[in-house]
A and B are shown apart, each in its own frame.
Chain A
Amino acid sequence: MSAETSLIRSLIAERFGEAIEELGFSHGVYAFAASPDRIVELCRFLKEHPTLRFDFLSDICGVDHYPEMPRYEAVYHLYSLPNKWRVRIKCRLGDPPRVPSVTGVWRTANWHEREAWDMYGIRFEGHPDLRRIYMWEGFEGFPQRKDFPLRGYKDKLNPFGAEGPPPTQPDLATEDIPQGGRSTPGT
């Protein structure tokens, strides 16, 4: 694996210089960290580079590192079908978390990003249809954040929930969220 990782490393360093931090190789995946403003550029580079060809987006995963700061993280898992390589891109995000969407690079990113938005409140800027995917419309809070109680908040439908009002997200209420759009990733 070392030949591959050094190749990936040198190609990325050649293009991005110091902007991409290397996190090493473990358990078959080569990991590195990128800042949110370079993420789309990096994904496009990895996908379209004639040698690397990371053409398959396996997964996008939101992480909440509470109480560590910066608190949030978006983790991308890429796979190269021709080379059988895997890479992981980690992108630490502040509060409120925002990161440019990679739906322009892979259409499959659409639902992954909607899930991360729904569960962690990570705002994917430029996403065509950033609505909740698992929770219902009008649900308050982001259930997979570490400060969200496991059983939810107590209300008339959930008598076993934790006491206390659901956290309000004032910054989210005022901002322009594309609600009510329709998901047609195929068009």
Chain B
Amino acid sequence: MTEVTELSWPEADAPHTKEVLLNLGPQHPSTHGVLRLVLELDGEYVARVDPHIGYLHRGTEKLAESFTYTQIFPLTDRLDYLCPPSNNLAFALAVEKLLGIDAPIRAQYIRVLMAELARISGHLLITGALPLDLGAMTALLYAMREREMIMDLLEMISGARMHTSFCRVGGVREDLPDGFFPKIREFCDIFPNRIRDYERLVDNNRVFLKRTQGIGVISAADGIDLGLSGPNLRASGVDWDIRRDEPYEIYDRLAFNVITRDEGDCYARWRCRVEEMRESVRIIEQCLDQMPDGPFQIDMPTIAFPVDKDRVHCSMEALIQHFDLSAYGFKVPKGEVYSAIEAPKGELGFYIISDGSPKPFRMKVRAPSFVNLQALFGVTNARYLADMIAVLGSLDPVMAEVDK
């Protein structure tokens, strides 16, 4: 017979507290991917958090060292898979800086246009996903409807819905297709009204406001110290946008506002992204108005593939050029470059060290989500477990980019 030990109950006025270890993730819808958080809970308060990342680590940087520069484009697609054109653009710019070349103006417009479409697509997801995390499902369904329009546009340009790989060093892969302009104009006409719809849907939702306003406040100084960038930092009142402050491509020809908020809470981060979508539509419209005719790829046979694919089948020179570039790639002068763009998630930088061969000696990705996610653990006033979900959602990390 086993001995029964008498349970002793804590006194009513001296509550017995015990820390509970809770494992959140890696497969949990509110962690936006495969993020695992080991939480030490004191009642409903989060006493400590131990993040585990790396479930999606594919070794992009190591792989890149054995790929030619053109082969790396599909790898960059898979960093932040919500907005591959931005990643392509960041990488292409870094290599072009090393080579000392610029893409033709038309190609630059096409790239910026695609990057802004990608920004809308990335922001749309979080516009819907943050309310979803907090229990309001409707907005995501409508956001997905509009995202589908962007997917269709990207498919029209590149043939792929998500992983476009459309940039090339020295230009883009192809020219814009026939019938693209009316289609994207239609999108630009419709979309601002749809943003108003989301606002009406979410902005008047008192539960959403209660759970985001004043929650997870990050001050400007903290944000800078924690390395936040992009809309996350702008929501804390830091007026910094690489598109304006270090203009790349043709951003200096475009008029747009940099959206900032002063509150630094979850709502401000969400709000910043919604406003930014409006600015992106403005940028796209300006791109369409200003887009010049001309080549979409640089005229350098040592770097760019032959524009006329039919020539490859009948001209020996074009065939050799095509074979050479496919099999060996092109050499990039010795040197190193750090090139950053304003990706939807923040500062996306590529640091490339070239040893003069057709493959990078070292490629480092400064992934914005990786740094932004770290800030989750610097947010001091989100103490409830439920608030932590709101903060995580509002920081908008993409785990593919966190894990590289």
Please give the residue numbers on chain A whose beta carbons come within 8 Å of chain B beta carbons, in ascending order: 26-29, 31, 55-59, 61, 63-64, 75, 77, 81, 84, 86, 88, 106-108, 110-112, 115, 119, 132-136, 143-144, 150, 182-187
What is the bound-complex CA distance between A186 and B238, given in angstroms? 20
Residue B371 contacts which of A28, A86, A108 (CB distance < 8 angstroms)?
A108
B187 to chain A, nearest CB (A): 33
Chain B positions 210-245 with a Cβ under 8 Å from a chain A Cβ: 224-227, 238, 240, 245
B residues within 8 A CB of A61?
351, 362, 364
B residues within 8 A CB of A77?
338, 349, 351, 366
A106 touches B338 (CB 8 A): no
Secondary structure call for the B interface? mixed
If A77-B338, A86-B338, A108-B374 touch, does A186 touch B54 (CB 8 Å cutoff)? no
A75 touches B225 (CB 8 A): no
Number of A-B contacts (CB under 8 A): 106
A150 touches B335 (CB 8 A): no
B227 touches A57 (CB 8 A): yes
Give the interface residue-count category, chain B: 35 or more
A residues within 8 A CB of B366?
58-59, 77
A residues within 8 A CB of B338?
27, 29, 58-59, 77, 86, 88
Residue A106 contacts which of B63, B225, B340, B349 (CB distance < 8 angstroms)?
B225
Determine the residue in chain A with the shortest Cβ distance to B221: A55
Chain B positions 42-73 with a Cβ under 8 Å from a chain A Cβ: 48-51, 53-54, 57, 59, 61-63, 66
Residue A110 contacts which of B54, B353, B374 (CB distance < 8 angstroms)?
B374
What is the bound-complex CA distance between A18 and B351, given in angstroms? 27
A22 to chain B, nearest CB (A): 15
Q: Does B337 contact A (CB under 8 A)?
A: yes
Q: Does B246 contact A (CB under 8 A)?
A: yes
Query: Can you list 18 A-B pairs, Cβ within 8 angstroms, ordered by A?
Result: A26-B336, A29-B338, A55-B224, A57-B227, A59-B364, A59-B366, A61-B364, A81-B240, A107-B225, A108-B371, A111-B371, A119-B61, A134-B403, A135-B57, A144-B59, A144-B62, A186-B378, A186-B379
Chain B positions 334-352 with a Cβ under 8 Å from a chain A Cβ: 335-340, 347, 349, 351
4 tightest CB-CB pairs across the interface, nearest first? A108-B227, A186-B378, A134-B54, A59-B366
What is the bound-complex CA distance between A9 and B224, given in angstroms? 24
B335 touches A26 (CB 8 A): yes
Chain B positions 350-370 with a Cβ under 8 Å from a chain A Cβ: 351, 353, 362, 364, 366, 370
A59 touches B349 (CB 8 A): yes
If A134-B403, A143-B62 touch, does A27 touch B377 (CB 8 Å cutoff)? no
What is the bound-complex CA distance between A28 and B93, given in angstroms? 13
B residues within 8 A CB of A29?
337-338
What is the bound-complex CA distance between A135 and B404, given in angstroms? 12
B residues within 8 A CB of A111?
370-371, 374
A91 to chain B, nearest CB (A): 14
A residues within 8 A CB of B337?
26-27, 29
Q: Does B97 contact A (CB under 8 A)?
A: yes
Q: Does B193 contact A (CB under 8 A)?
A: no
Residue A184 contacts which of B48, B336, B339 (CB distance < 8 angstroms)?
B48
If A77-B351, A134-B403, A182-B50 touch, does A144 touch B61 (CB 8 Å cutoff)? yes
B residues within 8 A CB of A183?
49-51, 377
If A63-B353, A77-B366 touch, does A107 touch B378 (CB 8 Å cutoff)? yes
B371 touches A56 (CB 8 A): no
Q: Does B98 contact A (CB under 8 A)?
A: yes
A residues within 8 A CB of B347?
58
If A29-B338, A135-B57 touch, does A81 touch B238 (CB 8 Å cutoff)? yes
A residues within 8 A CB of B403?
134
Determine the residue in chain B with the shortest Cβ distance to A61: B364
What is the bound-complex CA distance between A136 and B54, given in angstroms? 8
Q: Does B380 contact A (CB under 8 A)?
A: yes
A residues within 8 A CB of B226?
107-108, 185
A residues within 8 A CB of B353?
63
What is the bound-complex CA distance between A134 and B206, given in angstroms? 39
Determine the residue in chain B with the shortest Cβ distance to A150: B66
B residues within 8 A CB of A185?
226, 374, 377-378
Chain B positions 308-339 with a Cβ under 8 Å from a chain A Cβ: 335-339
Determine the residue in chain B with the shortest Cβ distance to A59: B366
B225 touches A108 (CB 8 A): yes
B residues within 8 A CB of A112?
371
Residue A27 contacts which of B49, B53, B97, B364 (CB distance < 8 angstroms)?
B97
B98 touches A27 (CB 8 A): yes
A residues within 8 A CB of B380?
186-187
B residues within 8 A CB of A136?
54
B8 to chain A, nearest CB (A): 31
A150 to chain B, nearest CB (A): 6
Determine the residue in chain A with the shortest Cβ distance to B54: A134
What is the bound-complex CA distance between A9 and B132, given in angstroms? 51
B residues within 8 A CB of A63?
353, 362
A residues within 8 A CB of B63?
150
If A29-B338, A77-B351, A84-B246 touch, does A186 touch B57 (CB 8 Å cutoff)? no
